[in-house]
């Protein structure tokens, strides 16, 4: 049975069953990744940026106890001019047509919502690659995921990297996000790095202007995701010359997500990126003692940051692909009517 589903009003049993389905998918597709916990899972599924909507469906089957269990889930995030898909199918019920059914539901809804294209993030070396390509999804953007295991970090080297003087700059740590008096300068630095033509779906909340940055930070907190910021300020001008962002999700608190690391063009070549990334790790060791890993994604060609990450101890483990498809083409291939 497949039904539209609202996580805001869902029972605790439904949320728990979805979590079990999600973790079974992780065990198969991402062995070695930490399993998700129930903390803030409902909020993770419901909270979005202003103007963005998420529509969900559940696939269920009878369980041994006379109830039902979740075997699949799809949600479509209506984001700007594209619908972004996420489909989960429990490994033991794959290749039964359920994935196709879930995809058809989401594509048809996106069409009726006025969207002409959909995108999806696909983990390399999983069956999802063949699934999406079989329906005509095209690869658009590649990132490489790398993982840093804190137990293997050379902390003496990290301390030296963080303490290396960056003449003319002050390095600051801000748990929770930048202070309000720096929001505008912080957003300007992020906007300089924004490249809407690079092909990335940019699934994280946009934060390239001050108000959107505030909204993005508030959204993260509502979803149970704690942001940590390290920034470098130019001593003479007070400008935010560089920044790095890490988020620790309540859903998998032993593995943090490294977001942007940016150095403004006028301040590049001074070692700021190395210093702020090292300072971040030192701070995380103090404020998040349960943390064991940090994962990050880098686009092909981002050699400078990849080189710094390698020096710190990150090791690449997966390709991560953005795929896209036109909705009319998908509806034809799926046999979905208007």
Read out DSSP for 246-266? EEEETTSTTEEEEEEEEE-GG
Report d(CA 219, CA 221) in Å as an integer.
5
DSSP letter assigned to residue 180: G
Residue-range domain boundaries for the chain = 2-143+322-334, 154-312
> In the CATH scheme, what is the homologous superfamily, with its name and number, of domain 2-143+322-334?
Gcn5-related N-acetyltransferase (GNAT) (3.40.630.30)
pLDDT value of residue 195:
54
Cα Dmax for the chain: 69
pLDDT value of residue 209: 84
Give yes or no on whether 2-143+322-334 and 154-312 have one common fold: yes
First-to-last C-alpha distance (Å) of the chain: 22
The stretches in the chain having pLDDT less than 70 are 165, 194-207
H-type helices in the chain, by residue range? 12-29, 41-46, 98-112, 127-134, 155-163, 183-193, 210-222, 272-287, 303-312, 327-334
Q: Which two tokens stand for residue 131?
A: 């699934």
Residue 197 is predicted with a pLDDT of 47
**HSE toward the beta carbon, residue 163, CA cutoff 13 A:** 6
pLDDT at 206: 47
Task: Tell me whether residue 311 is exposed, middle or buried, using C-beta atoms within 10 angstroms of its C-beta: 0 to 12, 13 to 18, 19 or more.
Answer: middle
Say what the pLDDT of residue 205 is: 43
The pLDDT value recorded for residue 207 is 61
Position 169 scores a pLDDT of 95
Q: Which residues contact 91 (CB under 8 A, 6 or more apart)?
A: 24, 25, 27, 28
Q: Which residues are within 8 A (CB) of 290 and not within 5 positions of it... i.e. 6 or more apart?
A: 253, 254
pTM recorded for the entire structure: 0.93
Hunting for tokens 């559940």 — which residue is that?
58
How many Cα atoms occupy the beta-carbon half-sphere of 173 within 13 Å? 16
Give the CATH class of 154-312. alpha beta
């Amino acid at each position: 049975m497949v039904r539209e589903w609202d996580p805001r009003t869902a029972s605790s049993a439904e949320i728990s069953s979805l979590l079990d389905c999600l973790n079974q998918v992780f065990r198969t597709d991402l062995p070695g990744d930490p399993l998700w916990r129930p903390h803030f899972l409902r909020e993770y599924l419901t909270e979005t940026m202003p103007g963005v909507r998420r529509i969900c469906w559940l696939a269920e089957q009878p369980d041994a106890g006379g109830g039902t269990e979740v075997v699949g889930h799809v949600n479509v995030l209506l984001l700007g001019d594209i619908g972004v898909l996420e489909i989960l199918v429990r490994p033991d019920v794959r290749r039964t047509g359920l994935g196709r059914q879930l995809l058809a539901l989401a594509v048809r809804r996106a069409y009726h919502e006025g969207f002409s294209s959909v995108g999806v993030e696909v983990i390399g070396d999983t069956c999802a690659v063949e699934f999406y390509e079989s329906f005509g999804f095209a690869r658009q953007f590649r990132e490489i995921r790398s993982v840093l295991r804190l137990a293997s970090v050379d902390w003496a080297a990290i301390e030296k990297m963080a303490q290396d003087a960056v003449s003319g700059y002050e390095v600051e740590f801000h748990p929770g996000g930048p202070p309000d008096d720096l929001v505008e300068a912080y957003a300007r630095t992020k906007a300089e790095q924004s490249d809407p033509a690079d092909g990335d779906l940019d699934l994280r909340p946009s934060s390239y202007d001050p108000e959107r940055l505030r909204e993005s930070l508030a959204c993260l907190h509502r979803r149970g995701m704690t942001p940590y910021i390290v920034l470098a300020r130019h001593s003479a001008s007070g400008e935010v010359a560089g920044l790095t962002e890490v988020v620790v999700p309540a859903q998998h608190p032993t593995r943090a997500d490294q977001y942007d690391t940016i150095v403004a063009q006028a301040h590049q070549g001074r070692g700021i990126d190395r210093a702020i990334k090292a300072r971040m790790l030192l701070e995380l060791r103090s404020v998040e003692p349960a943390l064991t890993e940090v994962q990050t994604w880098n686009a092909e060609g981002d050699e400078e940051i990849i080189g710094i990450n390698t020096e710190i101890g990150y090791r690449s483990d997966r390709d991560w692909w953005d795929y896209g498809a036109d909705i009319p083409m998908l509806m034809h291939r799926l046999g979905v009517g208007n």
